Amino acid sequence: MTIETEPIQERLRPRILQTEETGRLDLNVGAEPEANLPALPTGPSHSPISVAATGLAILVIGLVGIDLADFISGAFAHGAALGMVAATAVAAGCGGVGYWLAAELRGLMRLRSAERLRSMIPSAVSSELKREIDAAAKIVARDPLLGEAVGRFHAVLEPHHTGRDALELFSRFVLAPADRLAEAAIRRASLQAFTINAISPTVLLDTLLFAARAMRLIRQIAEVYGQRPGLAGTVHLLYRLASGAGLVGAVDLAGGIIVQQLGGAVVERLSASAAESAYAAQKMARLGIIAMALCRPIDFRPGEAPSLRRLVAGLLKPGPDKSG
Amino acid sequence: MRLLRYDKLPTLTGLVHDSTLRLAVTGLSHSGKTAFITSLVHNLISAIQRPARLPFLRAAAEGRILAARVLPLGKDAIPLFPMQKTVSALSGDPPHWPPSTTDLRQARLSLRFSPRGFLGGRNPIWRTASTADVTVEILDYPGEWLLDLPLLCQSYEQWSRAMFDLVRRGGRAPLACDWLDFLARHPADGADDPEAAFLAHNLYRTFLAACRTSEQLSLLQPGRFLSPGQMADPSMLWFCPLPLSIGGQVRPRSLAALMAARFETYKRDLVQPFFLQLARDVDRQIVLVDVLRALNAGEEAFADQRLALDIILGAFRFGRRSLLRRLFGARIDRVLFAATKADHVPALQRDHLEALMADLVEAPSLRAKAAHARTAATSLASIRCTEDDTDIIEGRKLDVVVGLPEGGEKRIRFFPGIVPVRPPPPGFWGERFTEFPVFQPPRITRATEEGIPHINLDKALNFLLEDTLA
């Protein structure tokens, strides 16, 4: 229970204030609010690394810009038509790079936005909490498969609901289906990791294929939660995954040990190779759970995180489908 | 040829899940029992079309409630809750509050639902085939009747002395003057004059009514003096406590003897059968408490309400349900304590109201938990009449609620004061606030698709029905 203010010793008297407003209130369930994208944080970063990176980027852009300007002026020296072609080619190239950079930046910002929300929600007071959850809903709504779930959430959320109510409804109506989609993706990836390990002829190939599938899984999970990371976003996610794995790994530690020890031991009796494959599937599932915890706009509450045992045990169980 | 109706045959799921659940709605007068029952029935029926009305009731939110209908009179012949009348009141123009509970009544609701788990399922075909029915019997009665429980183990002399101890204290004393003057002229050991007994009863009843209306007091015995209900012989109520000396005997054929005889008849013919029925029939209980009104009415009213609650909750047997216990009388395995009129406080303070409610019923909650019953406390507005807003009060921006007062044309903004999270210390109480606003209820349509706006009704229902609809 969230108690946000201390009771005031000297009680402020109750009172009735007259107004000039007339007419009944419309207390019916409101229409679904429009799902605009949340405003992204635009605060500047002043860390030494970012200042150095900015300087280097300016240097590279400057060098490339001067070279391109030379290239265009050289082309114009050979004739106006050639100059126009060179300028158009350079403009197209710059546009393409700019578009790619913008997409990368947008993906990264979305990721950061989700991370910011996750850090703010545990300490948010009731009124802030509703705002943060609304922002989280808008992030998740980017996943076309979850648009309907977000719509249902907006349909049930009423103005009188408190922040805690909104969190509960968001978990129930939006995050639960999103979690199911993510779990299905993890199961598929785990099954493929099992197969890759079983059939790959060399350890190197096995490792490369496992890494590629893990990367794809992380991106799939990020997409489930509406983040669609680009290259920079994926790198950021991998960095967070590496730094947060120890912390988040505790989520499934108990389940993991049981599966690893009991499941591994049983399977090992049947085949050492199959045991290795089972272990690879388990590693993939563990990675997926950690990625879920990182990409979810709201942290798992007690009892919400999927257990490794359930994911690995349900490898052959069909789940809600998502391409990939 | 007689056709076999396959659709009338019970399904395997039905054999496992079909059940009857009896829910007692307990609360003192004006605590919102009628509004709760009306909203519960109306919203459960509307949840089939609009699950968004009850998002916290899992079965409704998951679309597993397939049908709901109000059932006719049951075998036990308890009069039906006047659902049509209450809906008419709320759908009138302007809408108004339905009349309060004055007698024992029952609403019976049949719910068809699709259970979860291996006997339910997500497949629509399997879902249709694997339905179950639950009959929810909602027992409605004046909460004041429960205040009579201690009478069952008290003699007339003991009860009279206890009442006189109360009468001489606090806000009761000035209100009892007329009655006490009358008793001074008609001593207890005087002649057993039925006329004098009747007049004394009337004056005592007027005193009790004044305690309720002007002092907002709750512990007013006997409970049926203010909510008599239907009875064959009203003369069995014509008694009142008399000032009896400690250890003194009631003289035969005296006024005290006449009163004592009627007191015993009252216990035997009205109180005892009611409690026997209650002990036999109830599985779940919701206790509705108008905490906010008592809080604003002052320290004495607040303490009195707490005492009345303790007495009321002493009437119930709590414990986990089992087949063996069913044979020897039902036990209540879930109790929900709800602070009503949650729409009179803005959202931020509803947590406070909930915490205060939990604190008020801490002792009975512990008793219920010790008997392995589940308890919970919540704030609740069965019918929501207001919206939240803010206003500047004494230079501070404060949350208020806005609504149309009943009978008024202009909206008012109501600031309910700061609701404390636990029973407040003596320094907290200031001047009493008795102009507690009565807001006009929202106008509902007679069709059940729309439902009734509420606050936390779905949470309450989920707590009370979750396992039954699982």
CB-CB under 8 Å, A27 with B453: yes
Q: Is the pLDDT of residue A35 over 60?
A: no
Chain B residue numbers touching A173 (CB-CB < 8 A): 55, 61
Best residue in B302, B356, B383, B413 for a mutation probing chain A (most A CBs within 10 Å): B413
pLDDT average, residue stretch A64-87: 90
The closest of A234, A299, A287, A300 to A256, measured between CA atoms, is A287
Nearest CB among A7, A17, A156 relative to B418 is that of A7
* Residue A234 pLDDT > 70: yes
* ipTM of predicted complex: 0.74
DSSP state of A201: S
How close, in Å, is residue A150 to chain B by CA atoms? 13
A48 touches chain B (CB under 8 A): no
pLDDT of residue A254: 39
Min distance B196 CA to chain A CA atoms (Å): 44
pLDDT value at position B380? 95
Nearest CA among A301, A34, A82 for reference residue A179 = A301
Contact A172 B404 (CB under 8 A): no
Q: Report residue A77 as tokens.
A: 């020296």
**What's the whole-number average pLDDT of chain A?**
75
Residue A33 pLDDT: 40
Contact yes or no for A25 and B404 at CB 8 A: yes
Selected for mutation to probe chain A from B39, B410, B454, B458 (highest A CB count within 10 Å) is B410
- Listed by start position, the domains of chain A span 54-118
Tell me how far apart the alpha carbons of residues B403 and B161 are, in angstroms, rounded to a whole number.
46
Residues 6+ apart with CB under 8 A from B322: none
Interatomic CA distance for residues A245 and A223, integer angstroms: 20
Contact: A12, B400; criterion CB under 8 Å? no
pLDDT-derived band at A127 (thresholds 50, 70, 90) equals low
Separation CA A104–CA A92 (nearest Å)? 18
Q: What is the pLDDT of residue A49?
A: 77
Contacts of B444 (CB under 8 A, 6+ apart): B42, B87, B90, B91, B95, B450, B451, B452
CA distance A214 to A79: 52
pLDDT attached to residue A126: 65
Q: Is the pLDDT of residue A72 over 60?
A: yes
- pLDDT for residue A260: 52
Mean pLDDT of A228-232: 75
Cross-chain Cβ contact B55/A156 below 8 Å: yes
For residues A175-179, average pLDDT: 88
Please tell me which of the candidates A9, A13, A18 has its beta carbon nearest to residue B427.
A9
| pLDDT band with cut points at 50, 70 and 90 for residue A101 | confident
- Is A127 near chain B, with CB under 8 Å? yes
Question: Cβ atoms within 10 A of the Cβ of B66, count?
Answer: 16
| B385 with A27: Cβ contact below 8 A | yes
Nearest-Cα distance to chain B for A293, in Å, is: 25
- Report yes or no on whether pTM surpasses 0.90: no
A31 touches chain B (CB under 8 A): no
> Quick one: tokens of B460?
């309450």
Burial status of residue B184 (CB atoms within 10 A of its CB: 0-12, 13-18, 19 or more):
exposed
Placement of tokens 């990182």 in the chain = A294
Per-residue pLDDT of chain B (470 residues; tens, 9 = 90+): 444 444 445 555 555 555 889 899 988 888 899 999 999 999 999 888 887 788 999 898 888 899 999 988 777 778 899 988 999 999 988 899 998 888 888 999 999 998 876 444 555 555 556 788 999 999 888 888 888 888 888 899 999 999 999 898 888 999 999 999 999 999 888 888 899 999 999 999 999 999 998 888 998 999 999 888 887 788 889 999 999 877 777 888 899 999 999 999 999 999 988 888 777 778 898 999 999 888 888 888 898 988 888 888 877 777 765 554 554 555 788 999 999 999 999 988 898 999 999 998 888 888 888 888 889 999 999 999 999 998 988 888 889 999 999 888 899 999 988 888 888 887 777 777 877 889 999 988 877 677 899 999 999 999 999 888 88
Which of A194-203, A295-304, B452-461: highest mean pLDDT? B452-461
Q: Is the pLDDT score of A281 beyond 50? A: yes
| pLDDT (0 to 100) of residue B448 | 65
Domain boundary assignment for chain B: 6-144+278-385+443-465, 153-270
Q: Report the pLDDT averaged over residues A223-241.
A: 78
Chain B residues within an 8 Å CB radius of A154? none
Q: Are B340 and B289 in contact (CB under 8 A)?
A: yes
The CA distance from B453 to the nearest CA of chain A, in Å, is 6
Whole-number pLDDT of residue B282: 83
Beta-sheet pairing, B334-339 with A15-22: unpaired
Classify B372 in phi/psi space as left (phi over 0), alpha (psi -120 to 50) or beta.
left
Judge whether A176 is closer than 8 Å to chain B, CB to CB.
no
pLDDT at A28: 66
Residue A183, Cα to own-chain centre: how many angstroms?
14
Q: Which carries the bigger pLDDT value, residue B17 or residue A57?
A: A57
Q: What is the DSSP letter of A7?
A: P
Q: Do B418 and A165 touch (CB under 8 A)?
A: no
Instruction: Answer whether the bond into residue A229 is a cis peptide, omega within 30°.
Output: no
Please give the CATH topology (third level) of the domain spanning B6-144+278-385+443-465.
Answer: Rossmann fold (3.40.50)
What's the pLDDT at A136? 81
